[in-house]
Amino acid sequence: MFVRATFDAHSVSARNCGLVYGLPSPSAWMGFVHAWCLQAHLIDRLVPGVTPIVRQFAINGFHDGFGRVNFALPRCTERDSVGGTQLDAPTAFFSGGVIFELDINEDDKEGTMVSLTQALLFMKFAGGAIVDPELKTFDTLDLARKTIGFTLQEEPIPESEASLLDRLLDHVTPQKGKKGWCMPSLMGYRAIEELASNRPGARGGYRHAYADPLIGVVRAVGLSRTSNIPRWDWYHSPPFVLFKTI
């Protein structure tokens, strides 16, 4: 059973990776679904793979004069240098949702939807309060993806002799003939120490380690038009944790 949840969320985090204001990383959708299913006592029924949905993302305090949606803005070292504001903890209005799969038979579908609906009352998305949620179920992913909005695909950075930063900046520049647009995004972490346990205050008692962020590129494409529907998941290959599509 595929679940499609759409909603608005106020004051979501607009800090994707170190130097970029923009859409949350794909990990925000994965973490949201994981926490939601934990809250609904359905984590053992969750099938790997989460598909983001984005309909609107408007950074609070920024206006470009044309009423356009701004999905990624470079941070600057000087305050008040981007659109009249330079926030330490930028937030945004988000409209969109997520598609995920649960291993549920037909007889349990009604009870599962009740559990998800009740659990959603206590959830936030990327730190933002959720309003006007709508939940629907589908038999296939192809049916579930037929909605307004776009999704995020993993976009490889081409190899060349240029520096990684130059290749990254060149790749996120709009290119003729390519559908959608690219933006930098947090794509995982590299641990810089051994995993430790029993850290005071650690959520759920999980082990932790200090890590460096890994920055890559995602491409935003129309959800109903792409033939390659992305399903994001975590991959753990020490010392790396990577966010990749199945």
Whether 198 has a pLDDT exceeding 60, the answer reads yes
pTM of the model: 0.82
With pLDDT > 90 as the criterion, what percentage of the chain qualifies?
A: 43
Query: Tokens in use for 22?
Result: 């923009």
The arithmetic mean of pLDDT across residues 199-217, rounded, is: 75
* Contact criterion met (CB below 8 Å) for 89 and 126: no
For 24-33, 60-69, 167-176, 209-218, which range has the lowest pLDDT when averaged over its residues? 60-69
- Distance, in Å, from the CA atom of 40 to the CA atom of 17, rounded to the nearest integer, reads 30
Task: Identify which has the larger pLDDT, 32 or 156.
Answer: 32
Question: 72-85 pLDDT, tens per residue?
Answer: 455 544 444 444 44
Q: How confident is the model at residue 226 (pLDDT cuts 50, 70, 90)?
A: confident
The arithmetic mean of pLDDT across residues 111-129, rounded, is: 93
